[in-house]
Amino acid sequence: MGNSVSVIEYKELLNQMLTSESGDVDRDTLTKFLSYSEDSSDQAMVFTSTSPEDIKSVKQSKPKNLSKFIIQVIDVFYKMASESAKIDDPQHISVMKGAVNVLIKFLPYIMDSKAFMDKILWDGEGVPTGVKLCQGILIMLFKPGYSVRVLSSDVVDINTKGIDQNILWKNGVSTSGEVYNHSYTNFDTNRIGLLRLLLI
């Protein structure tokens, strides 16, 4: 999507977010970083620029920074999933892909400690971050423009922020009724990323 950055610049931006004194990341910086992370290939910077040892080191030396970073990425992911009826703007798609890839990269490293994982995903006030993550994945698996094609307004409710029932099977496997949203392989990469995230 035209989001070009060198490996050195990418690593510097990530290091800046993970090691800052406050641990806070402004939304513009995070959004820019996520758009740089949209490539989901095996050789993409999001998967190769940071080693497991790097992440474990941050977890040990600055656990609050890592916690805040993951929570903020999930927050961006959830807000984009739940506040839009469709996601078809190229920049928004880029940020969403990046958020999925970053979470695929980082979440496994918080799950080797139940206390650390619970603090990030389940503790705190309001809706738990873990609930936001799960709801966001389920919504995005059926999000017009991202994982299914955008349908005309005479078929779907364009104001639906969650999952529109018109893009799902209503009557079971052996139904003879019409399913409006047939499969399109051009969304497969996005769907695969969401399923990988769901399986973590």
pLDDT of residue 198: 94
Other beta carbons less than 10 A from residue 103's beta carbon: 22
In one-letter notation, the amino acid at residue 186 is N
Give the domain ranges of the chain: 7-150+186-199
Alpha carbon 69 to its chain centroid, in Å, reads 13
Query: Which residues does 93 contact at the CB level (< 8 Å), separation at least 6?
Result: 1, 38, 87, 145, 146, 190
Task: Return the biggest CA–CA distance within the chain.
Answer: 60
DSSP state string for 83-100:
H-S----HHHHHHHHHHH
The span from the CA of 128 to the CA of 111, in Å, is 16
Give me the pLDDT at residue 163, please: 64
Residue 132, beta-bridge partner list:
none
Number of neighbouring beta carbons within 10 Å of residue 189:
13
Model pLDDT, residue 2: 44
Please tell me the pTM assigned to this model: 0.85
Supply 28's token pair: 């513009």
pLDDT in tens, the chain (200 residues): 446 788 899 999 999 899 888 767 888 999 999 999 999 887 888 899 889 999 999 999 999 999 999 999 999 999 999 988 888 899 999 999 999 999 999 999 999 899 999 999 998 788 999 999 999 999 999 888 898 877 666 555 555 556 666 666 555 554 455 555 555 677 889 999 999 999 98
Q: What is the pLDDT of residue 131?
A: 96
Tracing tokens 């989001």 back to the chain, one arrives at 3
pLDDT at 1: 41
Structural contact between residues 194 and 147, judged by C-beta atoms closer than 8 angstroms: yes
What pLDDT does residue 61 have?
Answer: 93
Nearest Cα to 15, choosing from 40, 43, 51, 42?
A: 51
Give me the amino acid identity at 32.
K
